[in-house]
Amino acid sequence: MARKQLQTLTEPMYYVLLNLLEPIHGYGIMKNISEMTKDKVKVGAGTVYSLLSRFEKEDIVVKISTEESKKTYILTDKGREILKEEHSRLKQLVIDGNELLGEDRYENINRCRSFR
């Protein structure tokens, strides 16, 4: 049911939500995403704070504290459900891809070619 609100998440959305499994502030989210993805996904301050604002309005995250201008957020139950559904969707994409592109298939193709 939460899926209808956000059918699919962008990479920045997904990584922001992943980081909100535990209480964290915006700068921490940016730093973690950079470290998690080895700088392959970069999310700037404007994107993070825009997403946090949107997610807060949609009851996906909740602000739990404000200290020295650092606002700390965490996922709501609704946010966790959206994240779990997106994670499942992404896993299914990988499973589908593995069926057609997986190492086993390539290994079999390469073995067949070596017998020619």
Return the CATH number at 30: 1.10.10.10
Distance CA 26, CA 47 (A): 10
- 2 assigned to some structural domain: no
Pairwise CA distance, residues 70 & 89, whole Å: 33
Structural domain of 48: 8-114
pLDDT tens string, the chain, 116 residues long: the values are 344 556 789 999 999 999 999 999 999 999 999 999 999 999 999 999 999 999 999 999 999 988 888 999 999 999 999 999 999 999 999 999 999 997 665 565 665 565 54
Q: Is residue 29 part of a domain?
A: yes
Q: Is residue 3 part of a domain?
A: no
What is the domain count for the chain?
1
